[in-house]
Amino acid sequence: MTLTDTMRPITEISVTPPGYRHDPGARLRPINWNRVGDDKDLEVWNRLTANFWLPEKVPLSNDLPAWQKLTQEERTLTMRVFTGLTMLDTVQATVGEICQIQDARTEHEEAVYTNIAFMQSVHARSYSSVFSTLTSTPEIDDAYRWAVANDLLQERCKKVLAHYYGDDPLKRKVSSTLLSSLLLYAGFYLPLHFSVHATLTNTADMIRLILRDKAVHGYYSGYKYQRGLETHTAAEQEHMREFTYALLEELYDLELQYSGELYEPLGLMDDVAVFVRYNANKALMNLGYPARFTPEETEVNPEILAALAPGADENHDFFSGSGSSYIIGKAVDTNDDDWDF
């Protein structure tokens, strides 16, 4: 350190630990949560920690009677779908989130990915909790052998992994957002479908906790993608836009094949495809891009939508109603403490 170094901003004279890889001689800097450059990092960190949960808190064993009433076909489907979800969460926990640390724009962003990576491991483990509660070791082992042998499942993961281990930080972000906001949803469909029929409702509650986390994960990767993208030239931005829509197309096609094999025997695939397209559009919105699929192609079965979010129905569209129920009330005095009722 020289005297002039003390005059310069600390971020200019030091690097965070991942920077060692590129410059072993650089001075290292610890994370300082009392000097936050991007408020979104702290906001997302706080959301993530407030939403923390563990599968042990969900009374999965209450689903045993419902599990025993399922047909063998439904049980096999459930185990394969959940093993597929476990695969994606394993990819995301051990590679997808970790590989984004090197591209972080702030030191706090590095910490956020460690948090998200751990939560993805919790998600992966939660499916094992379902299995150990409801099924037997031989059945579990069979499902894992099925996953290792399934070419489409493998290809879906490797399509994304190639970009995670590639050399483009923006492509890592797009791949991560598409995995979190598109690939997982054909799997999430099944427990929502069962919960509509009052089956495996505790498992569905657990899936709702996972869905809540995934929304924050997809939002954050998408937000950081847009912060990164805006530092590039118009030509580079156009290249990334084309890359994003092309990768979405590839993953969507693979998803239809992979999920088609699983769901078609039960006649559910049309409904699943709508749900995938609806979530593909949401993945694009997280990345700041317009929808790929039309409103007609993304009209999710109202029962599934209600199982997902009870408030997402038309009751909250005042514009479509007559407005006759509008009652003029008197507003009350408010203060800051008053708003968390």
Binding site for another protein (CB under 8 A): 34, 38-40, 43, 47, 50-51, 208, 211-212, 214-216, 219, 223, 226, 281-282, 285-286, 288, 290-291, 295, 305, 308-312, 316-320, 323, 326-336, 338-341
> Which one from 127, 164, 252, 278 is the annotated catalytic residue?
127
Query: Cα separation of 276 and 115, whole Å?
Result: 27
Residue placing its CB nearer to another protein in the complex, 23 or 337: 337
Cβ closer to another protein: 34 or 72?
34
Which has the closest alpha carbon to 125: 26, 57, 64?
Answer: 57
The least CB distance from residue 157 to another protein, in Å, is: 22
Extract the tokens encoding 181: 């906001």
Query: Which DSSP letter does residue 325 get?
Result: T
- CA-to-CA distance for 208 and 243, rounded, in angstroms? 31
- Comparison of 22 and 330: residue with beta carbon closer to another protein: 330
Give the Cα separation of 189 and 184 in Å (integer): 9
Long-range contacts of 233-236 (CB under 8 A, 24+ apart): none
Nearest to 160 by CA among 248, 266, 271, 275: 248
- Residue 183 CA to residue 86 CA, distance in Å, equals 12
C-beta closer to another protein: residue 75 or 292: 292
User: C-beta of 273: minimal distance to another protein in Å?
Assistant: 18
Tell me if 255 sits within 8 A of 284, measured CB to CB: no
Which CB sits closer to another protein, 161 or 291? 291
CB of 65 to another protein, least distance (A): 24
Vertex 299 angle, CA 298 and 301, to 5°: 125
Q: Could you tell me the smallest distance in angstroms from the CB atom of residue 175 to another protein?
A: 19
Closest separation in Å from C-beta 19 to another protein: 25
Residues with Cβ within 8 Å of residue 336, at least 6 apart in sequence: none
- Selection from 245, 125, 275 nearest residue 185 by Cα: 275
CB of 31 vs another protein, minimal distance in Å = 14
Of the pair 235, 332, the CB lying nearest another protein is at 332
Report the residue number, 80 or 224, with the smaller CB distance to another protein: 224
Active site residue 127: yes
Tokens 């492509």: give the residue.
171
Angstrom distance (rounded) from CA 191 to CA 313:
20
Tokens 């150990």 correspond to what residue? Answer: 132
Contact 93, 14 (CB under 8 A): no
We find the least distance from the C-beta atom of residue 88 to another protein, in angstroms, to be 16
- Would you tell me how many other CB atoms lie within 10 Å of the CB of residue 139? 13
CB 61 within 8 A of CB 133: yes
Rounded to the nearest 10°, the torsion over CA 76, 78, 81, 83 is: -80
Residues with active-site annotation: 127
